[in-house]
Chain A
Amino acid sequence: GESVGLHLPTLSVQEGDNSIINCAYSNSASDYFIWYKQESGKGPQFIIDIRSNMDKRQGQRVTVLLNKTVKHLSLQIAATQPGDSAVYFCAENGAGGTSYGKLTFGQGTILTVHP
């Protein structure tokens, strides 16, 4: 089946640094990608999304980059704060077949921000 994977399971940064979390996906037909933040014991929280017809999208302190050539997705967090410490998941939205409209989540990256 299709899968979404992450290169780095853990990432530790100092407060104020920029963080980059990476994700590789395998379904070239996916039309929509989302980054979620999950704090311990809580549900996923939407951060930012990007459609497959875009390369870059910026939000408040966050930027998502999509490279369809190598099927790679990244989340950049500027001026990382301790409150950003959480697990970050990428997810892809299936665009066809049995995966249509379903989200497939990556394995997750644990981001730890040290004050």
Chain B
Amino acid sequence: GAVVSQHPSRVICKSGTSVKIECRSLDFQATTMFWYRQFPKQSLMLMATSNEGSKATYEQGVEKDKFLINHASLTLSTLTVTSAHPEDSSFYICSARGIAGGKINEQFFGPGTRLTVL
């Protein structure tokens, strides 16, 4: 099946610093990538959708200047949490969608990145 990786798997940073999370589709070209955030014991909430070569579209309530998304190639999207604060501590999960396995709508999920802001 299609494989999506994320790096790093976990990161601890100080308040006020910026953190970059990478999402890669390893064996297919991802025309669209999605970024989700998941707080403990809660569901996944979509933050933004990025299409290769164009600006990301953000869901209501998500600050685009705080969560910078870049989708520069068909296999890589990055999420940068700028000036991170403890309330940004969460599990960040990406997914990728492309023409993989014949299912046009299917999203393939990465393993997630645990961000802890001290």
> Which A residues are closer than 8 A to B by beta carbons?
31-32, 34, 36, 41-46, 49, 89, 93, 101-108
Contact = CB atoms under 8 A, between A and B. Distances in A.
B112 A102 contact: no
B106 interface: yes
Nearest to B4: A43
B44 A44 contact: yes
A101 B112 contact: no
A89 B93 contact: no
B34 interface: yes
B interface bracket (residues with beta carbon within 8 Å of A): 20 to 34
A43 B105 contact: no
A60 B21 CA distance: 35
Contact of B46 (A31, A43, A103, A106): A103
Interface in B95-111: 95, 97, 105-111
B54 interface: no
A38 to B, nearest CB: 8
A102 B95 CA distance: 11
A14 B114 CA distance: 32
Nearest to A95: B105
Contacts of B45: 105
A112 B6 CA distance: 28
A44 B43 contact: no
B8 to A, nearest CB: 13
29 contacts: A34-B106, A36-B109, A41-B112, A41-B114, A43-B6, A43-B93, A43-B109, A43-B112, A44-B93, A45-B109, A46-B109, A49-B106, A89-B43, A93-B105, A101-B32, A101-B49, A101-B97, A102-B34, A103-B34, A103-B46, A103-B95, A103-B107, A104-B46, A105-B43, A105-B45, A106-B43, A107-B42, A108-B42, A108-B43
A2 to B, nearest CB: 12
A41 B112 CA distance: 8
